[in-house]
A and B are shown apart, each in its own frame.
Chain A
Amino acid sequence: MPRRTMIEAIRDAMDVSMARDERVIVYGEDVGFFGGVFRCTQGLQAKYGKSRCFDAPISESGIVGSAIGMAAYGLKPCVEVQFADYVYPAYDQIVSEAARLRYRSNGDFTCPIVVRMPTGGGIFGGQTHSQSPEALFTHVSGLKVVVPSNPHDAKGLLIAAIEDPDPVIFLEPKRLYNGPFDGHHDRPVTPWSKHELAEVADGHYTVPLGKAVIRRPGADVTVLAYGTMVYVAEAAAEETGIDAEIIDLRTLLPLDLETIVASVRKTGRCVVVHEATLTSGFGAELSALVQENCFYHLEAPVARVAGWDTPYPHAQEWDYFPGPARLGRALVETMEA
């Protein structure tokens, strides 16, 4: 089976979807002729023409707002916001419009759009190219929120998102575009070609939305992670020698609570990790759900490891980033509690 990078897998998902369904339209800033600043849409305009893949003005509210209109017409737009940090001008369109259109019109109009955006740090992008705004979307009824962690899932999840009848926020951890990054920024980058989850089948397949997967079975403690943090968790488990069960959530909304609860009831311990800032982060929701559903099985308080509550800094990137050392300490403390 061919191995692909995240970028190639994401591109392949759009390629497959555009070939299967002419209603699928792809656009965004620099997305057309050039193929996107991360090259996720490279070649799509040449293959499908300018009507189906084109450059948009620098206007995120315009990109998402027009996509909502296109979806109301009957197309299936899959649009790119160049960085998740730039999505805020489109927030009104996503929250007040895309998310509620089906509900407020009682299904008279629907909004099957996908808004793709690179998320997270680790590339020295500073505060405007590093944010992880997933919790701003998981708080919104009517949205689905997806964060893939590997090329195989990225392709299957993106095809599922494009085929989904409701709006999907698709956050692509940009530090994973070219390799499974585990937080050891001082070591050489492992390319996807050396990773088995980079095996991406040709043609059409989906990975269902709303289903988590256990990346590493373990008995001691459950780690709830998504995106880049899946690899950070793997490194932390290996380096501490703690037999952690690592769950890759893949979809944050709707959440696969069943898989989480089954794991925590088995291990009796839980550490939640994300790159986004701590306060009111998605980890708060996860730890609340774990204590509501697993309280009598818990041997220790649910721990949260997250970005500090500061804007994402530039020079201090690796002090900010919750790497394997910080997660490892939390694992040890949770085991000792």
Chain B
Amino acid sequence: MADAGMLRFHVPEPEVRPGGTPDFSDVTIPKAGSAPRPEIDVDPRTIRDMAFSIIRVLNRAGEAVGPWAGLLSDDELLEGLRHMMTLRSFDARMQMAQRQGKTSFYMQHLGEEAVSCAFRKALAPGDMNFPTYRQAGLLIADGYPMVTMMNQIYSNEADPLKGRQLPIMYSSKEHGFFSISGNLATQYIQAVGWAMASAISNDSKIAAAWIGDGSTAESDFHSALVFASTYKAPVVLNVVNNQWAISTFQGIARGGSGTFAARGLGFGIPSLRVDGNDYLAVHAVAKWAAERARKNLGPTLVEYVTYRVGAHSSSDDPSAYRPKAESDAWPLGDPIVRLKNHLIQRGVWSDERHIQAEAEILETVIAAQREAERHGTLHAGGKPSARDMFEGVYAEMPPHLRRQRQQAGV
């Protein structure tokens, strides 16, 4: 070779930058229904190719096809559609509330609603999620009150977290939703620990770990896979690949591994990729993985292939690093539109009913917002007391904190 001896440094680049034409031609989309559905006790070595494909159920005609279809009834699907629409509407209102100065920060789910909404329906009561900041669908789909979520976002007097935590970092043990840290990847190994504890206690509950494509680069992701593999922990290891980690495209965290699901293969963990914008596929794969966990078959790694249509957070502007029309070009479409079309195809939904439902949901969200705002917003109305700041650091307040609270005069 001509340049043998001279090393060259490699930095991956996305296909397109702002100003360019969006191009997803390198994203191979298999036909819906083409992926096999293995038995849950399958030998992981025989399904390694599933870490490189994509399980899809809904085809372009809106039909549910293949071995992963047929798990959900009309009513369950209609409920799923309502959850996703509610989350989208909730996001739009809260994003606006942030712009109006009613809170400091917000993170929306636009384009990713199917992942958390469908996953929640695959779990049983008592199971525990260890979410990131983009899985509020777990709460919406479990019936957690929107008003309570908004109270937290507003850090108002009714905030269940007493104003101590950044907006959207919810916590609800009752709804199987572990306290969101705001640090990345730390929760992944904690989920494995929770699952280990359930097994140690001969319980029947399972855990679900959540992480984004970018944070799989953290060492906690690696240690979680080691522990899950070693102790066969009853946990579903979810990776939401929404293509973007703030401004960094997924290739920076993925490196040469091909897919994020492939990370699980070296640990002997069955690893599947699924169409994250396909409510039916997400639910079916989640159900498969949850059943494996509950039957002592150990962890499953699931990569949800999706796209972050919105900005990373209210503090981010994606036009600086990716083409504006990129989300329109995303080949897996919009999860709400796809489920809507499927329900129309099933004969249980229509465009008119959809428009009507949108209006009803918006009304519900606005009503919740009004109620939350009666308890205050970040800079107006009722708020947690300064005294609350000193509480809860320990079960019992130690003398030095008591002195500081007196010093603060609260």
Contacts and interface: CB of A to CB of B under 8 A. Distances in A.
A264 to B, nearest CB: 17
Given A66-B227, A69-B195, A97-B183, A75 B200 contact: yes
Interface string B163-196: 0110001011100001101010010111111111
Contacts of B188: 65
B164 A97 contact: no
A104 B395 contact: no
23 contacts: A59-B226, A61-B223, A62-B220, A65-B220, A65-B223, A66-B196, A66-B227, A67-B193, A69-B194, A73-B194, A73-B198, A93-B220, A97-B183, A97-B190, A101-B179, A103-B393, A104-B169, A104-B181, A107-B392, A165-B394, A165-B395, A166-B395, A254-B398
Interface in A89-109: 89, 92-93, 96-97, 100-109
Contacts of B236: none
Nearest to A93: B186
Interface string B66-77: 000000000000
Contacts of B198: 73
A104 B193 contact: no
B164 A104 contact: yes
A258 to B, nearest CB: 8
Contacts of A148: none
B160 interface: yes
B192 A69 contact: yes
B166 to A, nearest CB: 9
B227 A92 contact: no
B224 interface: yes
Interface of B: 128, 130, 160-162, 164-165, 169, 171-173, 178-179, 181, 183, 186, 188-198, 200-201, 207, 219-220, 223-224, 226-227, 230, 392-395, 398-400
Given A102-B394, A257-B399, A62 B224 contact: yes
A313 to B, nearest CB: 29
Contact of A89 (B130, B165, B219): B219
B105 to A, nearest CB: 15
A260 to B, nearest CB: 12
Contacts of B191: 69
B183 A69 contact: no
Nearest to A109: B179
A56 B224 CA distance: 12
Most chain B beta carbons < 10 A, residue from A61, A106, A210: A106
B219 A103 contact: no
A59 B194 CA distance: 17
Given A65-B190, A69-B192, A103 B164 contact: yes
A95 to B, nearest CB: 10
A62 B392 CA distance: 26
A280 interface: no
Given A96-B183, A96-B186, A73 B392 contact: no
Contacts of A166: 394-395
B171 A104 contact: yes
A254 B398 CA distance: 6
Contacts of A284: none
Contacts of A104: 161, 164-165, 169, 171, 179, 181
A52 B183 contact: no
B193 A66 contact: yes
A62 B128 CA distance: 19
Nearest to A75: B197
A109 B178 contact: yes
Nearest to B183: A96
Interface in A239-259: 253-255, 257-258
Given A61-B219, A97-B186, A106-B161, A66 B181 contact: no
Interface string A56-93: 11010110011111101111010000000000010011
B223 A62 contact: yes
Nearest to B397: A254
A75 B201 contact: yes
Contact of A74 (B197, B223, B224, B395): B197
A228 interface: no
Nearest to B200: A51
Interface in A204-220: 210
Per CB-CB distance, the 9 closest pairs between chain A and chain B, nearest first, are A69-B193, A66-B193, A62-B223, A65-B189, A254-B398, A73-B197, A69-B190, A105-B179, A69-B194
B403 to A, nearest CB: 9
Listed residue (A67, A70, A75) with the most chain B CB atoms within 10 angstroms of its CB: A70
A192 to B, nearest CB: 31
Given A52-B200, A254-B399, A255-B400, A66 B189 contact: yes
A110 interface: yes
B162 A106 contact: yes
Nearest to B165: A104
Contact of A96 (B181, B226, B230, B392): B181
B142 to A, nearest CB: 15
A138 to B, nearest CB: 11
A68 B190 contact: yes
Contact of A61 (B160, B197, B220, B230): B220
B164 A106 contact: yes
A128 interface: no
B393 A69 contact: no
A319 B220 CA distance: 39
Given A62-B189, A254-B399, A69 B161 contact: no
A142 interface: yes
